[in-house]
Amino acid sequence: MGTREQKVAIVVFDGVKMLDVAGPAEVFATANLLGARYAVSYVSASGEPVSTSVGMRMPVDGRAADVAAPETVVVAGGDNLVTEPIPGDLVDAVRTLSPRTERLVSICTGSFVLAAAGLLDDRRATTHWQHAELLARAYPRVRVEPDALFVEDGQVFTSAGVSAGIDLSLALVERDHGADLARSVARQLVVYMQRTGGQSQFSAPLRVRPPRTVELRELVGLIAAEPALDHGAAALSARVGVSTRQLTRLFTTELGTTPARFVEQIRLDHAKTLLDGGHGVEESAREAGFGSAETMRRTFVARLGISPAAYRHRFRSTHGAAG
């Protein structure tokens, strides 16, 4: 008995991120070479071709509303989904497809389309780390998980930015055809079957809005400039002449975090920058204020899901990587 054909409809639109389309499509196409039977089609709200993020005109197979019963619907992302109003016809098309499919998937900022259609209400979801806060603020009924590479909640799957769509697509292939076939696809595409850690390892350093309180603003500046100083609760309180309880209240009110958590994040960002620049683990731990490599290792594993050594190997310069 042969493998059952599974229809996959990828929803595209003007400005769609090309890799959000090509990544999943390559996973499904490679799976087909290894015995799967995915029938991938590309649809837009109007049925007209679309312009992609790389400037290439992309033909489609028809209107999204005309797709009868695809097993999987994939909504790709695009930068314009977070900078401009989401087109109403795109939202309507996805809302129409939702009850027809067994599995609804978004890649990167495609989650904003699902959210606008009300399909993420009271569900866990993720998106690109850069836009997770916006998703949570714009759609408060969505339970955003900003560090996840992808999230499954019932029949709805959402992925983080761009290449995380490949991670999610591999997970779908594994669900459909088992780990062996999915592993073979990953090897063919020369990607990890499952990446360690979450989105935090890829995120930019913490950007802090300037606190309104002058004393707190000066304190935050000092922590960022000199992360290796003693920034314990007592030392920080003494510098601004307030109790530790009042200091915690100031941090919580203005920055949404505790002093200890803030200091740890600053030190983590500083260590990541040092490791990115080729510094060793011991040196980075000392310069960032962790005190010891072991303390820094525990923080990296807890916050990023990988060790400092693994992070350094993954994100150091590409010079000399070949061969």
State residue 323's pLDDT score.
Answer: 38
Sheet of strand 72-75, all strands in order from the earlier edge strand to the far edge: 62-63, 38-44, 6-11, 72-75, 103-106, 156-159, 150-153
What is the biggest distance separating any 2 CA atoms in the chain, rounded to whole angstroms? 77
State residue 203's pLDDT score.
Answer: 47
Please count the CA atoms within 13 angstroms of the CA of 58 that sit on its side-chain side.
25
Q: Tell me which of 289 and 221 has the higher pLDDT.
A: 289
The mean pLDDT value of the chain amounts to 88
Q: pLDDT of 89-125, one tens digit each?
A: 999 999 999 999 999 999 999 999 999 999 999 999 9
State residue 206's pLDDT score.
Answer: 52
Give the span between the Cα atoms of 244 and 237, in whole angstroms: 5
- Evaluate the CA torsion angle 57, 61, 62, 65 in order and state its sign: negative
State residue 311's pLDDT score.
Answer: 83
In one letter, which amino acid is 225? A
Lowest mean pLDDT among 52-56, 225-229, 293-297, 316-320: 316-320
Question: What's the whole-number mean pLDDT along residues 135-156?
Answer: 91
State residue 156's pLDDT score.
Answer: 97
State residue 319's pLDDT score.
Answer: 43
Distance set, CA 126 to CA 148, 213, 291 (Å): 6, 33, 34
Give the span between the Cα atoms of 164 and 23, in whole angstroms: 9
Question: What's the whole-number mean pLDDT along residues 67-84?
Answer: 96
State residue 192's pLDDT score.
Answer: 62
